[in-house]
Structure 1
Amino acid sequence: MRLPKSDHTGRPWRIHEIAGDFKLEDVWALPTPGGPGELPRLTATISAMEFPEGAPPLVRLVWNARWKLGALFGWDRDKHGTGGRVATLRDRMPDDLRRAPTDPRLDGDAFTSLYQLEDEWAAELANRTVHTVMHLSWVPDGSGGYRGQMAVLVKPNGWFGTAYMAAILPFRYLLVYPALLRTIERGWKASANA
């Protein structure tokens, strides 16, 4: 379920210290009911996912088309990533965050983990279009339990990045996010049975 942006901005997350110049694009309640202290289970669940495998064919088609276009036009080359076009957010992190664990590592994924604390985890990705942060947190659900929350922060790369974000908006809301949330929910349930 999509949440008001204040559900992210109203909390004292450490990501605010290092990504203040990023735009908060989306905030989502994750279908991951649980108890206190389960952020490591959530991050392990997400790092084990092989999205978009298992998603509907149309989602896989859109997802794969994006990566093929990126390869064709060079959007995802190293020179456009962190350490190339943009500095990694690790360069902005205070010493205590630099010492925090960076697990889980997202093997084979374009995201690079920045830090994991007791109730928040952040990873970044940069390419020709945007510099983005995926922020996961573990929050009270209002009924005595807890759940995951995902925020997506972006910093578009000029007019091209802004146009790109506008162009993919309907695909994100109609296809990608619903499929991603279902995949997270399946992984969460499977991790409870493991």
Structure 2
Amino acid sequence: MLRLSKAAHIDKPWRIHAIASDFRVEDVWALPTPGGPDDFPRLVRQFADSNPVDTSRVVRALFAIRWTLGEAFGWDRPDSGVGTRVRTLRDRLPADLLAAPPGPDLRMIPFKSVYLIDDEWVSEYANRTVHALLHIGWVPDEVSGGYRGQLAILVKPNGVFGAAYLAAIAPVRRLIVYPSMIRMLGREWRSDDR
């Protein structure tokens, strides 16, 4: 697994740039999902159906702690999410993206799909700390000559507390959660090839 520079996302001609210019790129990762030009729908299905919480005992414990704290402090109440505290990104979509099917919602974590096109899928989530976008793209792989997935997380923190919260959990996300999730995704991708 390979964490990439923010430029790996910013320099691509993604449609999300025009829609979410007020979000900042938090993390970018290369996904271990080698494939051909037509394999993006497979990645979208696999990612939507995966359960990142069950990647390891440590990640499961971290998610349990996070959801417990969220419940105790009211971070995840229904009035703090998309459509209540923040407007859905779908309200910003141009007509062609709005007319297209939005794609699948994630099954195990509460991200809702915004749009899905041939090489780009965006889902969103909001709570009292942040409005977050999960961007999955399908990019040429210069090493293999094929294609692979690329994950970017874009965020708009909710005030000073949201920015401090994101900064505080960044090491946990980058050192434990994302690597574990990406390893699981790679294992599932390889097992699907058999």
- TM-score scaled by structure 1? 0.95
Residue 109 of structure 1 deviates from its aligned partner by 2.6
Residue 108 of structure 1 deviates from its aligned partner by 4.4
Query: Partner amino acid for 2:73?
Result: F
Confirm whether residue 113 of structure 1 aligns to residue 113 of structure 2.
yes
2:136 aligned residue: 136
Query: Partner amino acid for 1:113?
Result: S
Residue 159 of structure 1 deviates from its aligned partner by 0.6
2:154 aligned residue: 153
Equivalent positions of 1:98-109 (< 5 A) are 98-109=98-109
Query: Partner amino acid for 1:152?
Result: I
2:80 aligned residue: 80
Confirm whether residue 6 of structure 1 aligns to residue 3 of structure 2.
no
Tell me the matched-pair count. 192
2: CA distance, partners of 1:110 / 1:135: 15
2: CA distance, partners of 1:52 / 1:83: 25
Structure 1 stretches of 5 or more lacking a match?
A: none
Q: Deviations over 1:155-177 (max 9, x none)?
A: 00001100100110110111101
Residue 104 of structure 1 deviates from its aligned partner by 1.8
Preserved CA contact (<8 Å) 2:19 2:93:
yes
Preserved CA contact (<8 Å) 2:51 2:108:
no
State the 4+ residue runs in structure 1 displaced beyond 3 angstroms. none
2:57 aligned residue: 57
What is the identity percentage for the equivalent residue pairs of Structure 1 and Structure 2?
Answer: 54
Aligned CA-pair RMSD? 1.1
Give secondary structure in 1 for the equivalent of 2:152. strand
Preserved CA contact (<8 Å) 1:37 1:119:
no
2: CA distance, partners of 1:103 / 1:183: 22
